[in-house]
A and B are shown apart, each in its own frame.
Chain A
């Protein structure tokens, strides 16, 4: 079959090494932050208290907010305690109660003063909890474990026993391929502050990205990691050393959220490159997230405005958004994620996060398996943008859609001056999130293991037009069989469509996708959900396409959502 590719498919130069962009780690903003941790926590506290007082003016509102927070915290401690929770929580919130009673007895300015002090103590406690414990020494150790440790494992295991697609000898660089705007990202990191916004499929993402960031010669990024991950020692170790701060998704009260926002905003303003998973949690359905969480993204916009207001020229005055898409053949958590999704889809309800990463041993086993057996990851780095979705050039200058330079300061100006307008910034955040999703779809690299389940599931759907999703997922597995010839033809048609989109710059493709059709399908079948006990797509004895698990098939199918490809089935 003739391939109609006009745009060349870039082969990744896996042997390329990148020099660190800073000569020594002393220059890293995150090191500065760790060194002045106490002072930073204090700054976060003061700024967050000021914001909260603006939001909840007057003693009545303030006391109400504290009371509400206290109530929810007590409830959380009782109903959903975690291993990482500090032991003195109950005592602390007990004291809050008695102090609220004290305030109740006072009046006027005195009560207000006491309420503000109480607020400050709560915020300070949160700020302490959020702020990470970055240690240079453990950063270096963690880095070594990731880079050299697994590389050793890899070579020791030299895989010859696996399928014909994986004859090469591996290095970690072969396993994790970095594509896209790498030099651009490095250039931007030198002149401004990066906000990296990756897609989020697996708990492995943060480790993968930590590796990538180091590999690209960039200083560590700070990022908000779910507090639940700190329950697991091995993750806690990596997180603390990679510049993580802690985000507790159980705490949804205003005081906590404002403290978190302030933390992020202030860290960005201090020039810390940051990493947000704007989808919030891992993608439950397996799709590229389309609705982004705006909270932390908004802090980048706010930080940019404050940077401009303070007129800080030179380093760190401009913030760049860099979308990143991580592609896996296999997501360890897929079965439980998709179950969460299916359960939640009907009705919104509170649920306790279901984790496959429950113990260090389990993870280590997975990692060894992962790094020693054949399954690749690709990380696509998108082009840098300003906070208004304009691409930026190598010098960080914004270029509008007509190819002209834009002065981004002016987005914040009203009547000739930069001013603060939270509603405007919320709207900008929403607009930015739409741009990021567009970029995700554009830089997403299609693997055979994405297209294989998509075609299989959609063909099944077409065969059972009257079934809704739940009906489809309940089809008896022995009824699920797609004749290979028809499957092959459909797959070829879809692949041509994707080449078409690739030529127009609407999507990216992995080099392996361009090969011989049967081989590509074989590659996809072999890799999709490689380590699941029940495989989403397999070939039956007579060579036809079937499945051992329709829910994970659906999960992997969703990876190709958002391109409107269904109509070509």
Chain B
């Protein structure tokens, strides 16, 4: 390790998870720095090494690949964990023994998980309370000794980023230095990076938007147009704010790039897994069949179960989330859900301030 001067300090940056977003982030980082990308499965490593292609994206020359977390954490100070929430805890536990207090962890996972004692057979316990629900930054804080933690959130559809289209993201952390580092590493002429201190709010904005994205998919699947779309986005935003407050997010986070920005992007495109899920539900497919047909589960699935249970326990109405839950897990059809929503007694437009 070279400690003599700033100029020669050029440790690579780590990315854990070679899914589509992980690959995009690795390529973005590689424009500014050397990158080490971790994939768990040896056959994936082998395939990427042979083809230099990951998830259909050509890897930047400066991306090295590894399946050794020990190696990755010893050569990298800054690590971006980007794996689906369902495998996040396991990944972070595998990584934890190698982490030191000097590490910065900036995750890019828009999902929630529930503490192990409150999660049985794919469902949260009926007694679920806010302290049992974890955003990924909380998972990192709980499972590692790293304190300098941040997150990435914003309208970052992998395919558009991979095509080099202009976009922006938010790096949120309680630490200014983590925000600065994220900006320094990610920014380029087509990619703007904003900072925020409300890490929980920014994480929740990205997480809760997935609920609304599923609903948007349903609306499009049912063949409705832009009026319905506008209605959903605005009502959805209000619901996101309320649900977000349950878990300690500030309202302002939801009005920025990671909230409204991501919401508009995700609700308008079939490039998102959550949107596709809703679309297929509207077309009459059943949840188990949809889940069986994809390799990566849309984050919205668990987020909806968790937030529905939590809202219920906290005595809060979340009409969109509840309806989606009933479509996915009970016998309600998307049409019935929509009719129910339109009858919803909430007549105030925007009352979150």
Q: Out of A388, A390, A416, A423, which one reaches B177, CB within 8 Å?
A: A423
A376 to B2, alpha carbons, bound, how many Å?
A: 59
CB-based contact B100/A416 at 8 Å: no
In the assembled complex, B291 has its CB within 8 A of some CB on chain A = no
In the assembled complex, A401 has its CB within 8 A of some CB on chain B = yes
In the assembled complex, A417 has its CB within 8 A of some CB on chain B = yes
Tell whether A416 pairs with B77 under 8 Å between CB atoms, given A401-B145, A406-B101. Answer: yes
CB-based contact A421/B176 at 8 Å: yes
Tell whether A407 pairs with B9 under 8 Å between CB atoms, given A388-B147, A427-B175. Answer: no
List of A residues within 8 angstroms of B3 by Cβ: 416-417
Q: Out of A401, A410, A414, A423, which one reaches B100, CB within 8 Å?
A: A410
CB under 8 Å from chain B, chain A span 24-79: none
Q: Nearest Cβ in chain B — how far from A318, in angstroms?
A: 15
Tell whether A415 pairs with B9 under 8 Å between CB atoms, given A410-B101, A424-B175. Answer: yes
In the assembled complex, B62 has its CB within 8 A of some CB on chain A = no
In the assembled complex, B102 has its CB within 8 A of some CB on chain A = yes
Q: Out of A390, A415, A428, which one reaches B77, CB within 8 Å?
A: A415
CB-based contact A416/B145 at 8 Å: no
Tell whether A421 pairs with B147 under 8 Å between CB atoms, given A402-B96, A410-B102. Answer: no
List of B residues within 8 angstroms of A410 by Cβ: 100-102
Chain B: CB-nearest residue to A423: B176
In the assembled complex, A147 has its CB within 8 A of some CB on chain B = no
In the assembled complex, B231 has its CB within 8 A of some CB on chain A = no
Q: Render A392-423 as a binary contact track against B, CB cut-off 8 A, 1 for contact.
A: 00000000111010111011011111000101
In the assembled complex, A431 has its CB within 8 A of some CB on chain B = yes
List of B residues within 8 angstroms of A415 by Cβ: 6, 9, 11, 77
**Interface residues of B, dominant DSSP:** loop
In the assembled complex, B60 has its CB within 8 A of some CB on chain A = no
List of B residues within 8 angstroms of A421 by Cβ: 176-177
List of A residues within 8 angstroms of B174 by Cβ: 427
Chain B: CB-nearest residue to A390: B145
A416 to B11, alpha carbons, bound, how many Å?
A: 10
CB-based contact B2/A411 at 8 Å: no
Q: Out of A411, A416, A417, A431, which one reaches B101, CB within 8 Å?
A: A411
In the assembled complex, B1 has its CB within 8 A of some CB on chain A = yes
CB under 8 Å from chain A, chain B span 116-171: 145, 147-148
CB-based contact A423/B102 at 8 Å: no
Q: Out of A404, A413, A431, which one reaches B102, CB within 8 Å?
A: A413
Chain A: CB-nearest residue to B174: A427
A370 to B6, alpha carbons, bound, how many Å?
A: 62
Q: Out of B6, B96, B147, which one reaches A411, CB within 8 Å?
A: B147
CB-based contact B147/A431 at 8 Å: yes
Q: Nearest Cβ in chain B — how far from A122, in angstroms?
A: 30
Tell whether A407 pairs with B100 under 8 Å between CB atoms, given A415-B9, A421-B176, A427-B175. Answer: yes
A410 to B104, alpha carbons, bound, how many Å?
A: 11
CB under 8 Å from chain A, chain B span 171-194: 174-177
Q: Nearest Cβ in chain A — how far from B333, in angstroms?
A: 41
Q: Out of A416, A423, A427, which one reaches B9, CB within 8 Å?
A: A416
Tell whether A400 pairs with B145 under 8 Å between CB atoms, given A406-B101, A408-B101. Answer: yes
List of A residues within 8 angstroms of B145 by Cβ: 390, 400-402, 406
A485 to B97, alpha carbons, bound, how many Å?
A: 55
Q: Render B323-338 as a binary contact track against A, CB cut-off 8 A, 1 for contact.
A: 0000000000000000
Q: Nearest Cβ in chain A — how far from B156, in angstroms?
A: 26
List of A residues within 8 angstroms of B102 by Cβ: 410-411, 413-414, 416
A406 to B96, alpha carbons, bound, how many Å?
A: 13
A271 to B340, alpha carbons, bound, how many Å?
A: 69
A410 to B96, alpha carbons, bound, how many Å?
A: 16
Interface centre among A404, A413, A414, A421 (most CB of B within 10 A): A414
CB-based contact A423/B101 at 8 Å: no
A331 to B117, alpha carbons, bound, how many Å?
A: 42
Q: Nearest Cβ in chain B — how far from A412, in angstroms?
A: 9
List of A residues within 8 angstroms of B147 by Cβ: 388, 411, 428, 431
Q: Out of B11, B101, B175, which one reaches A388, CB within 8 Å?
A: B101
A180 to B11, alpha carbons, bound, how many Å?
A: 45
A508 to B232, alpha carbons, bound, how many Å?
A: 53
List of A residues within 8 angstroms of B175 by Cβ: 423-424, 427
A153 to B148, alpha carbons, bound, how many Å?
A: 55
Interface centre among B3, B101, B176 (most CB of A within 10 A): B101
List of A residues within 8 angstroms of B77 by Cβ: 415-416
List of B residues within 8 angstroms of A411 by Cβ: 101-102, 147
Q: Nearest Cβ in chain A — how far from B97, in angstroms?
A: 8
Tell whether A424 pairs with B101 under 8 Å between CB atoms, given A400-B145, A416-B1, A416-B77. Answer: no
Q: Render B266-292 as a binary contact track against A, CB cut-off 8 A, 1 for contact.
A: 000000000000000000000000000
A433 to B151, alpha carbons, bound, how many Å?
A: 24
A423 to B11, alpha carbons, bound, how many Å?
A: 24
Q: Nearest Cβ in chain A — how far from B212, in angstroms?
A: 32
Q: Nearest Cβ in chain A — how far from B200, in angstroms?
A: 14
List of B residues within 8 angstroms of A401 by Cβ: 145
A427 to B100, alpha carbons, bound, how many Å?
A: 18
Chain A: CB-nearest residue to B178: A424
Q: Nearest Cβ in chain A — how far from B70, in angstroms?
A: 14
List of B residues within 8 angstroms of A407 by Cβ: 100-101
CB-based contact A416/B2 at 8 Å: yes
List of B residues within 8 angstroms of A408 by Cβ: 101
CB under 8 Å from chain B, chain A span 128-149: none
Q: Render A419-442 as a binary contact track against B, CB cut-off 8 A, 1 for contact.
A: 001011001100100000000000
Additional A-B contact list (13), CB under 8 Å, known A408-B101, A411-B147, A423-B177: A400-B145, A407-B101, A410-B102, A411-B101, A413-B101, A415-B77, A416-B2, A416-B9, A416-B102, A417-B3, A423-B176, A424-B177, A431-B147
8 CB contacts below 8 A, A to B, read A388-B147, A407-B100, A410-B100, A411-B147, A414-B177, A423-B177, A424-B175, A427-B174
Instruction: Give chain A's interface residues, CB within 8 Å of chain B.
Output: 388, 390, 400-402, 404, 406-408, 410-411, 413-417, 421, 423-424, 427-428, 431
Instruction: Give chain B's interface residues, CB within 8 Å of chain A.
Output: 1-3, 6, 9, 11, 77, 96-97, 100-102, 145, 147-148, 174-177
Q: Which 4 A-B pairs have the closest CB atoms?
A: A410-B102, A410-B101, A411-B101, A423-B176
